[in-house]
Structure 1
Amino acid sequence: MKIFTAEQIRSADEFTIKNEPITPTKLMERAAQSCVSWISENCKNHTKFAVFCGNGNNGGDGFAIARMLHLNDYDVDVFVDDLKGSFSDDAMINFERLSDFSGIFIHDFSKIDEYNFEDTIVIDALFGTGLSRNIDGSFKNVIEKLNEKKNIKISIDLPSGLFTDAIVTENAIVFKADYTLSFQFWKKSFLHPETGKFTGKVIILDINLSGEYISNTQTEYFTIDDEIIENIFKPRDEFSHKGSYGKVTIIAGSYGKIGAAVLSTTSAMKTGSGLTFIHAPKCGYEILQTSCPEAMFTEGGSQFINNFEVDENSACGIGPGLGTEEETEKSFLTFLKNYSKPLVLDADALNSISKDKNHLKLIPKKSIITPHPKEFERLFGNTKNSFERVELARKNAKELGIYIVLKDHHTQVVTPEGNVFYNITGNSGLAKGGSGDILTGIITSLLSQHYSEENAAIFGVWLHGKAADFAAERHSKESMLPSDVVDELGNVFNKLNKKFALKL
């Protein structure tokens, strides 16, 4: 799915209005109805709503939502800044329609302290995508009071106080939603930790904005959705053999860190590699041969790896549990100087590279690196926030001709062309040591199976996150282990294969 700026979203509305054609008020009604349909389906145990409306079109959405909820037999109260306030033209139409219903009470913001919020769902329709400044005055006061309440809170389109595609200042007031019902598109601000923390669970509602506009409008930002994955995924040919799915070499492990090599190797095999080799120190031989009997062991040293050998026909992932012994680093950098095929580089491989900025030039073109934020900082320098970090990643991906998989809650795949793909699978259960080792194995395995570097990175982070979602359902986010994520990869592939079979 494309991610558009606030200006592009406004243009999508305008294009739809002009070319469908449809009146602005009817489009507002359509958006409101999509919200009410979701609320009616998902809030069946609640009957009372307090809708807080602003003066612009987001407030107009709120007025329409309030009216439709009332018509669906819900108990609805509406709050506005000023009962005689100045609304946008379309908001005024819906405000006047609302005023015709005697069963809906419209209150001034000043009445919030007197209102009984017991068993009430709060709906935020104060500000939408047009907001360009921090909220102040009576609106600020209302949001602060609402944020203190324990009620379920739903934001319409985006939480009031957030900008569509930019970070908010540290002292800005933002509505803290449990759910955000967003029209048509993910917003960039939903996908970054500094701003995404305000959205709660994001629900994308299709309001049928012009497909022509969406198709023809260019962007460099995307979410990794089911459509992208279904176009990437290649079901297995029944007449294939192990040679059809390539060779993987995982170079990983050191004394005390053999578990990282196990996780990376098992995830590579579970993702479908034809032949899998693990190049590790001798101290891990028994553990690896016992834990990963399907993989072939090659010795890279005694207690740590001090020689790097890769079959030229093998996809290679380097870094999990590698350690930063002087001999390991020296041998690794020598290997990089003499190797030209794309690699998957993670963890201590990246830490070794980060010790000298000139080492970045040794990374083979089209390689995939998978840093977490601290590793990224060591490689490329400090940034003030995650928005700046993505832009710095774009700059370096272009300059180095590599793919950067920037691990985060919504992991970003940054391409040499400067495109950014945000992953929307996964959960906080992945915030455990070993999760990144699994991702290295998954992506390397996909490379061996002749997925392009871009598709291997995109598909890999999606698979990783989807398996984590399955693991969380089975074990909980708190108790799930990285090995549980590996075990769920088969269920993800089963689901993909069933979808593909249905298409046939």
Structure 2
Amino acid sequence: MKLATAEQMKELDRQAIEERGIPSIDLMERAGAAVAEAAASLPAGKGRRRAAVLCGTGNNGGDGICAARHLFLKGTEVRAYLVGDYEKMTPDAREQTRRLSECGVALVPFDPEDEEQRRWILRADVCVDALFGVGLSRRIDPSSHWGRAVALMNDSRGAVVAADIASGVDATTGGCLGEPVHAVKTITFTLPKAGQFVGKGALCSGAVEVRDIGIPAQLVRETVCSIQTVERDFVRQALPPRQADGNKGTFGKVLVVGGAVGYTGAPYLTALAAVRSGCGLVSLGVPEIIWPVEAAKCISAMPFPLPDKDGMLSEKALQKILDKLEDCQVLALGPGLGRSQRTGRLARELLAQTDKPVVLDADGINALAGHIDVLNGRRGRVTILTPHDGEFARIYDGPEALGRAEEARTFARAHGCVLVRKGHRTLTAVPEGNVLVNTTGNSGLAKGGSGDVLTGVIASLLAQGAAPVQAAAGGVWLHGRAGELAAERETEYGVTPADVARTIPVAIREILG
């Protein structure tokens, strides 16, 4: 699903109105009707439904004024408030005010000191947020009328429906411009906005519903969006076909390198996930001192000992790893590796010397801090990095405060790698500039070891023949979906990374079915 930026939406509106001759008031009428329909569908208390509609002076405010009229015509008891000066209203918003007035409903100036207004908003069954729309570019002052209107909607007992986008959310980055409205539902127009799926904006938007308001479909199809969500069809295509006459060598060979004293679970979880997601042969190179532990745990993967020192891999392990890698398609490097000068040098040497695809996680990523030239040296070779925000901060060398998606895009472009930026709505950025947003997963995945499982899934799909972006973004989706399915049994409190790894086949069956 394509996700649009604020500028793209402004351009679509301009083309529809100026080039195709569609009256802007007609677009507004459809938008307001869609918002009213959503607001009227929400549960209400006993008696007549009460709605508070808070409107700005721009066209988003006009959408809200229109929604107030449609709610009134549906039998809702409506009060509409104008936050801002009447003189600053757009012509379409003024026309909607006239139409609302013809129904006997006045647009009342918002006064946060008016106790009657406050009571109505706080006790409404539903609040409609139509303050700003996608054009907001400045922070909302909490002491201003707009900031106090946002606070009242958030404090209201009624559910908030946002018109196009929750006020305070940057439509492009998902960042928050002051305290945002927390909507239970956002009725957005023509295309979903990137800011509704990434950053804090994803948490403030509630359920996002896209409504057609009459912008020509051709214009929408021709809009090229560099940020998209990952959908089931994409994941289905990422799953390599299973040959009926295949053998264990047919379905890929992954070498996992990691582990240290105190971190025996990480490489095991990576190996388990690789097996569970279809890899034919999984080898596991670990420090000799913990090899007995891994050998006892691993039934389907094949652990082997490597030279170590002080509980971690030593640089003497380098040649043995390279030799083993000759017979494998993919190296998964970093789970439980530990942070030391020796492990850092080992990780960098492996990255420099192998031409094989590498999935780099955890302390493998940390080894690049201050040595990003090693990653640049792999340009043209497949390298997939899977950092959480803390690890990403150690290696990111681009402009600050761009937002999670734009920072991920900047890094992938600059260093010629695929970047999986983990977190709520994990992002996959590719060197060409595209960003894929994941929408699966839950809080049960916020546990140590979850990232190790993800590394195993991505490495497995890559070894089986999936393209790098398919393996990365498809693996993230499967990992998140497995987390959802596992939580249905264990709850988000009780689900473990091992539960997630063991549930990957169920997520795969769902996709194939």
TM class by smaller structure: 0.7 to 0.9
* 1:389-443 Cα deviation digits (max 9, x unpaired): 6545434423432111122212221211122222222233322211111111011
- Post-superposition offset of 1:52: 0.9
- Post-superposition offset of 1:79: 1.5
Contact 1:354 1:360 in 2 (8 A): no
- Post-superposition offset of 1:457: 1.1
Any residues of structure 2 matched to 1:270-309 within 5 Å, and which? Answer: 270-301=276-307, 303-306=311-314, 307=317, 308=321, 309=324
* 1:61-98 Cα deviation digits (max 9, x unpaired): 21222223333333322222479655323323332222
- Post-superposition offset of 1:448: 0.9
CA RMSD of aligned residues (A): 3.0
Which one-letter code corresponds to 1:52 in the other structure? L
Aligned with residue 95 of structure 2, among 77, 93, 96: 93
Quick one: structure 1 residues 53 and 447, their matched pair in 2 at CA, closer, same or farther if it must change by over 3 Å? same
Partner of 1:70: 72
Contact 1:366 1:402 in 2 (8 A): yes
Partner of 2:108: 107
User: Is 1:60 aligned to 2:62, yes or no?
Assistant: yes
Aligned with residue 375 of structure 2, among 353, 356, 360: 360
- CA separation in 2, counterparts of 1:193 and 1:133? 17
Partner of 1:129: 134
- CA separation in 1, counterparts of 2:18 and 2:481? 39
Partner of 1:454: 469
TM-score by length of 2: 0.86
Quick one: structure 1 residues 94 and 241, their matched pair in 2 at CA, closer, same or farther if it must change by over 3 Å? farther
Any residues of structure 2 matched to 1:302-381 within 5 Å, and which? Answer: 303-306=311-314, 307=317, 308=321, 309-363=324-378, 365-381=381-397
Which one-letter code corresponds to 2:226 in the other structure? E
Contact 1:34 1:205 in 2 (8 A): no
Three-state SS of the structure 1 residue aligned to 2:35 is helix
Partner of 1:251: 257
- CA separation in 1, counterparts of 2:70 and 2:293? 63
- CA separation in 2, counterparts of 1:25 and 1:55? 15
Partner of 1:164: 171
Partner of 1:211: 217
Three-state SS of the structure 1 residue aligned to 2:393 is helix
Quick one: structure 1 residues 176 and 362, their matched pair in 2 at CA, closer, same or farther if it must change by over 3 Å? same
Which one-letter code corresponds to 1:267 in the other structure? A
Which one-letter code corresponds to 1:322 in the other structure? L
Which one-letter code corresponds to 2:287 in the other structure? P
Three-state SS of the structure 2 residue aligned to 1:129 is helix
* 1:354-389 Cα deviation digits (max 9, x unpaired): 2534433454622101111221222234864352x6
Partner of 2:51: 49
User: Is 1:478 aligned to 2:480, yes or no?
Assistant: no
- CA separation in 2, counterparts of 1:201 and 1:96? 31
Which one-letter code corresponds to 2:271 in the other structure? T
Which one-letter code corresponds to 1:440 in the other structure? T
Residues 89-98 or 105-114, more deviating: 105-114
Which one-letter code corresponds to 2:439 in the other structure? I
Partner of 2:437: 422
Partner of 2:182: 176
Three-state SS of the structure 2 residue aligned to 1:76 is strand
Quick one: structure 1 residues 168 and 442, their matched pair in 2 at CA, closer, same or farther if it must change by over 3 Å? closer
Contact 1:264 1:438 in 2 (8 A): yes
Partner of 2:150: 143
- CA separation in 2, counterparts of 1:323 and 1:4? 41
* 1:150-192 Cα deviation digits (max 9, x unpaired): 543222111223332257687x353333433322333233344
Contact 1:147 1:175 in 2 (8 A): yes
For these two proteins, the number of residue pairs brought into alignment is 494
Quick one: structure 1 residues 45 and 472, their matched pair in 2 at CA, closer, same or farther if it must change by over 3 Å? farther
- Post-superposition offset of 1:298: 2.2
User: Is 1:432 aligned to 2:433, yes or no?
Assistant: no
Partner of 1:9: 9
Sequence identity of aligned pairs in percent?
Answer: 31
Quick one: structure 1 residues 15 and 404, their matched pair in 2 at CA, closer, same or farther if it must change by over 3 Å? same
Unmatched segments (≥5 aa) in structure 2: none
Which one-letter code corresponds to 2:313 in the other structure? I
- CA separation in 2, counterparts of 1:42 and 1:241? 55
Three-state SS of the structure 1 residue aligned to 2:493 is coil
Which one-letter code corresponds to 2:147 in the other structure? K
Quick one: structure 1 residues 40 and 121, their matched pair in 2 at CA, closer, same or farther if it must change by over 3 Å? closer
- CA separation in 2, counterparts of 1:48 and 1:472? 37
Contact 1:194 1:386 in 2 (8 A): no
* 1:187-244 Cα deviation digits (max 9, x unpaired): 23334435545x2424131316433223323333223234543454455454544333
- CA separation in 1, counterparts of 2:101 and 2:354? 72
Quick one: structure 1 residues 193 and 355, their matched pair in 2 at CA, closer, same or farther if it must change by over 3 Å? same
Contact 2:128 2:162 in 1 (8 A): yes
Contact 2:175 2:199 in 1 (8 A): no
- Post-superposition offset of 1:35: 3.1
User: Is 1:118 aligned to 2:133, yes or no?
Assistant: no
- CA separation in 2, counterparts of 1:86 and 1:391? 33
Which one-letter code corresponds to 2:110 in the other structure? F
Which one-letter code corresponds to 2:463 in the other structure? S
Unmatched segments (≥5 aa) in structure 1: 499-504
Partner of 1:267: 273
- CA separation in 2, counterparts of 1:221 and 1:122? 30
- CA separation in 2, counterparts of 1:168 and 1:243? 46
- Post-superposition offset of 1:44: 6.1
TM-score by length of 1: 0.87
- CA separation in 2, counterparts of 1:236 and 1:346? 27
- Post-superposition offset of 1:31: 2.5
